[in-house]
Amino acid sequence: MEPTEEHIRELIGKLASQDYGVRLMALGRLVEASDAAVPQLLAALQHPNALVKACAACALAGIGAPQAVGALIALWEESPRDPSRMEALTEFATKLAQSANPATIPALIELLPCYKKTMGEGSVAGREISRIAAEGLRVLAYKAPTLTLRAALPALKRDMWHVSPDEFGEVRQVIEEATRPWKDLPVTASGPQMRAQELPLPADKPTLS
């Protein structure tokens, strides 16, 4: 049975507990609640209690809800050296990348620039997050090529001011090759997730090989 809003609110309240066992139990239940808990967990990222914020980020990472990407990036940028925030965003990126789900493409694209968002210790985590997101896009290009993947190409270009992860050039090449027959079609990251077999064929390719 799907948990009620009141039950989710109670679980989030327990994230402030000084008892580690209580926090761990609440965290596990919130992850189990999945998408039903996401709206209140996103709101909890603004909670004045640092412990609640950290646990809410951890729960969102465990759920892997793509709509949490902007909030988790913003939380990490507030304090890029905070281990809990680094770990939450890294776990979140890993969860999305491993899902091989085309619906995660916009979120993975949003994670790509993390390598250039912070300096110092935070840049190490940022590069790893960007690398994980790029790898997720590479897997999708091989397993489930979609028109929307082409929205990642601008973010995978070499940056003249920052050193992007080494994988970016290769991932860009893989995506370009996987979506080449439809390179002239308009696309946005939030557009429909059209698979290759669903796209209109170019005039010189009457059949799919």
Q: Please check whether residues 13 and 98 belong to one and the same domain.
A: no
Q: Please check whether residues 141 and 82 belong to one and the same domain.
A: yes
The pLDDT value given to residue 53: 94
**Which residue matches tokens 């696309």?**
187
Mean of the pLDDT values across residues 55-64? 96
Question: Is 28 a member of any domain?
Answer: yes
With cut-offs at 50, 70 and 90, classify the pLDDT of residue 46.
very high
Number of domains in the chain: 2
Listed in order, strand segments (DSSP E) in 131-198 are none
Question: Is 185 a member of any domain?
Answer: no
Inter-residue long-range contacts of 201-207, CB under 8 Å, 24+ positions, other chains counted: 205/181
The pLDDT value given to residue 155: 94
**98-125 pLDDT, tens digit each:** 999 999 999 999 999 999 887 666 688 8
Question: Is 112 a member of any domain?
Answer: yes
100 dihedral zone (left: phi>0; alpha: psi -120 to 50; beta): left
The pLDDT value given to residue 97: 97
**Residues above pLDDT 70, as percent of the chain:** 87
Q: Which residue among 38, 63, 88 closes a domain?
A: 63
Domain that holds residue 170: 69-180
Reduced to 3 states (helix: H, G, I; strand: E, B; else coil), residue 193 is coil
Question: Is 188 a member of any domain?
Answer: no
Q: Please check whether residues 99 and 150 belong to one and the same domain.
A: yes
Reduced to 3 states (helix: H, G, I; strand: E, B; else coil), residue 117 is coil
Residue 56 has pLDDT above 70, yes or no: yes
Predicted TM-score of the model (pTM): 0.85
Whether residue 52 contacts residue 30, with contact meaning beta carbons closer than 8 Å, is answered with no
Q: Please check whether residues 35 and 81 belong to one and the same domain.
A: no
